[in-house]
Amino acid sequence: MIGFFVITLGPMLYSLYLSFTDFSMLAAPEWVGFDNYIKLFTNDPKYLDAVRVTLVYVLVSVPLQLAFALAVAMVLNRGLRGLSLYRSVYYLPSLIGASVAVAVLWRQMFGSNGLINQILDWFGIEGMSWIGNPETALGTLVILNVWTFGSPMVIFLAALRQVPQYLYEAAAVDGISRWGSFRHITLPMLSPIVLFNLILQMIGAFQAFTPAFVVSGGTGGPVNSTLFYTLYLYQRGFTGFQMGYASAMAWILFVVIALVTAVNFWFSKYWVHYDD
C-alpha cells in the first residue's frame, strides 16, 4: 500500500501538476496553465502526426489480430490432436514480439535487401524498402502486431471450452449450418471474451514503443510514418527534456485509453451477451 502511494498515486498527481508547467529538470517547474495542452493541438503538427499514426495502428492491427486469434482458436478447438503443440507454436511470437531482437529481425526482413524481397523476387516482383517507404512502414509494424495473435488466441481457446456442447448438438439436430452455429451460438457466447480481448489489446497497442523505436532507429521516420505516440513522448521528454510537455502528452494518452475503454463497455451492451 505504501508502494501504491509512493510509486503510483503520488507520481500520478505530480505528473498532472507537471503537465501544467514548463519543466526541464534544470530549474523548478514554472506554471504555464493550459499552454502545453493548447500547443499540442494547435501548434505542433508532429504531435498530430503521432496521434494519427497511433490511431491507425490501433484500429487496424487490433481487429486483424483478434480476427486471426479467433479463427485459429476455432480451428484448434475441435478436439484436434497435437493441440498443445500448436498452441505453443502460435503463442511463442506473443512472448518475444516486444523484444528488440525481433524488431531487429523485422528491420532486416522488410529492408531493401531483406528476406521479404528475396521471396518476392521468386515471383518476379520487384521489391522495395518497406521500412524506408512512408506508405508501407507502418504496415510492417501492423504485421508485427498481428503476428503476436497467440495470447488472445489462448484466451479464446479457454473460453471456447466453456460453450456448452448441447447447444451445438441442438443446432445440428435443427439442421443449422456450421456458419449459422458460429454466428448464433459461438459468437454470442464468446462476446464477453471478445470484448475483454479487445480492450486489453487496444490498451497494449496504444502503448507500443519498442518496435517503432528500433525499426525507425528512434526517429519515427520515414516522414513520421512510424511516430508512435509513446515514441514522440519519449523524444519530447527524454531527448528534449521538455518534461512538462511530455507529462501533458502522457495525461492525454491516459484519458484517451480510459475513454476508449469506457466507449467499448458502453457499446458492448449492444453486442455482448451475458448468460444470466
Partner 1 sequence: MTIDTKFDQSTVAMTVGTKRSAGRSTFKHALLIAVGLVMLYPLIWMLGASFKDSEHIFSEVSPIPNPFILDNYVRGWNGAGVGFGTFMINSTIVALFSVLGNLVACTLAAYAFARMQFRGRKIFFACMMGMLMLPHHVLLIPQYVLFANLGWVNTFLPLVVPKFLAVDAFFVFLMVQFLRGIPTELDQAAKIDGAGPWKTFFYVILPLLKPALATSAIFTFIWTWNDFLTPMIYLQDPRNYTVPLGLNSFLDASGDSAWGAMFAMAVISLGPLFGFFLVGQKYLVQGIATTGLKG
Residues 127-166 that bind partner 1 (CB under 8 A): 147-148, 150-151, 154-155, 157-159, 161-162, 165
Give just the sign of the alpha carbon dihedral 137, 139, 140, 144.
positive
Q: Site residues for partner 1, window 80-99 (CB under 8 A)?
A: 80, 82-84, 86-99
Binding-residue total with partner 1 (CB under 8 A)? 97
Query: Interface mask (CB under 8 A) for partner 1, residues 215-254, using x and -?
Result: --x------------x--xx--xx----x--xx-xxx-xx
CB 249 within 8 A of CB 229: yes
From candidates 38, 100, 223, 263, binder to partner 1 by CB under 8 A = 100
Complex with partner 1: residue 140 or 224, whichever CB lies closer: 140
- Name the one range near partner 1 by CB under 8 A: 30-38, 39-47, 106-114, 263-271: 106-114
Q: Three-state DSSP class for 15?
A: helix
Is residue 220 within 8 A of residue 227, CB to CB? The reply is yes
- 101 near partner 1 (CB under 8 A): yes
Residues in 62-81 at the binding interface with partner 1, rule: CB under 8 A: 72, 75-80
Q: CA–CA separation, 276 vs 70, rounded Å?
A: 24
Helices assigned H by DSSP within the chain = 2-3, 10-18, 35-42, 45-77, 83-96, 100-109, 115-122, 137-147, 150-160, 165-173, 178-181, 187-206, 210-215, 229-234, 243-271
Per-residue binding letters, 167-206, with partner 1 (x by CB under 8 A) = -x------------------------x--xx--xx-xx-x
